[in-house]
Amino acid sequence: MSSTKPLPARCLTPLWRAEGLRYYAYNFALKQRFGCRVQKVSVDAGFTCPNVDGTVAKGGCSFCDNRSFSPSRRLPRAGVLGQIDQSIARMRVRYKSCKHYLAYFQPATNTYAPVERLRPLFEEALSHPQVVGLAIGTRSDCVADDVMELLEELAARTYLSVEYGMQTMHNRSLEWMNRGHDHDSFLDAMERSRGKGFEICAHVLLGLPGESHEDMLATARELARVGVDAVKIHNLYCVKNTKLAEQVEAGEVELIGQDTYVQAVVDFIELLPPTVVVERISGEAPPDYFVGPSWCLDKPAVKRAIEAEFVRRDSWQGKHYSACL
């Protein structure tokens, strides 16, 4: 009988690699979970943020205009079920065979309210016959204990992903963007989210002013250390009517170039555990709101460039993840 200890599950060849993928893509993960294509539909519940209303800061994050991030905030707001129906109707044009959806509470901070307001909104979304789960975008400083209990309750009976806006591990960058909290806030939310049954997704921004390539990779190593379930990687891009737009126009901030970004994303993903779902690899905004950089408007081209770089290196997600070396 062999005395060799089996490798931990996180170190075994993952299914997505066996399928020829270079990273654990979100569509692949959802199909494995649900057995079919599942798409997100954006829901705007009318929330604000604590760094907009003055609770922790004023003016919001320097890069933020929620209308540019969320389709639901660019349209007249119907009720929750009405928004879901509207989004599904739009989705059918592109995804004709898709019949199952996640209700994505996307704009602003979607746990920034009393439980008495949150519960009926989430329950209404789950009552839609084609909704098979929830995704809730929020901030690490907006998950009070009773809200965490509600999230745990929901996760016990449906798929739930909670998305925290980490952005970066570097406090100087969080201060620059007027985030209104530091990295310790994210670590606290992570610790209190463990074992609650929902997936934990972190949003990160690459190309922040003053961050070196190594600074960006330090954020990747931190994500690997704290054990998130999923990550959304965005390039810093600029939309109109924001503090960042003023800084770009004044020449104070230079936005990251495509070649630099592609190298950073691949280096970043190589450091992530192979079990972390990569939900997004770039960001873009509608042309009406957009300032730059222009390259990120061609999202398919950015994806092709990132995948080509993986192929050129003969690399994959987790290749340099130290826990398996």
Return the minimum-mean-pLDDT range out of 58-62, 147-151, 178-182, 222-226: 58-62
The burial class, CB within 10 Å (0-12 / 13-18 / 19+), for 37 is middle
CB burial of 280-298 (b: ≥16 within 10 Å; e: otherwise) equals bbbbbbeeebbbebebbee
Spatial distance between the Cα atoms of 168 and 264, rounded to a whole number of angstroms: 14
| Omega before residue 273 within 30° of 0, cis | no
- 12 falls in which pLDDT band (50, 70, 90)? low
Question: How many angstroms separate the CA atoms of 31 and 127, rounded?
Answer: 22
* CA 323 to chain CA mean position, Å: 24
Q: Whole-number mean pLDDT of the chain?
A: 92
Model confidence at 103: pLDDT above 90: yes
Query: CA-CA distances (angstroms) from residue 147 to 78, 192, 230?
Result: 25, 11, 21
**Amino acid, res. 71:** P
Rounded Cα distance between 184 and 277, Å, is: 23
Please report which helix (H) or strand (E) contains residue 241, including its range. Answer: none
Which residue, among 144, 183, 163, has the nearest Cα to 233 in the 3D structure?
163
Q: Which amino acid is at 129?
A: P
Q: What single string gives the DSSP state of each residue in 80-105?
A: HHHHHHHHHHHHHHH-TT--EEEEEE
How many Å apart are CA 179 and CA 193, to the nearest integer? 21
**Mean pLDDT, residues 243-267:** 96
Q: Please report the pLDDT score of residue 157 as a whole number.
A: 97
Q: pLDDT tens digit string along 164-182? A: 999 999 999 999 999 999 9
Sheet with 38-43, edge to edge strand ranges:
38-43, 100-105, 131-138, 159-167, 199-206, 230-235, 277-280
Residue 97: the pLDDT is 87
Residue with the larger pLDDT of the pair 11 and 130? 130
212 pLDDT more than 80: yes
Structural domains of the chain ordered from first start: 20-320 (3.20.20.70)
Per-residue pLDDT, 2: 38
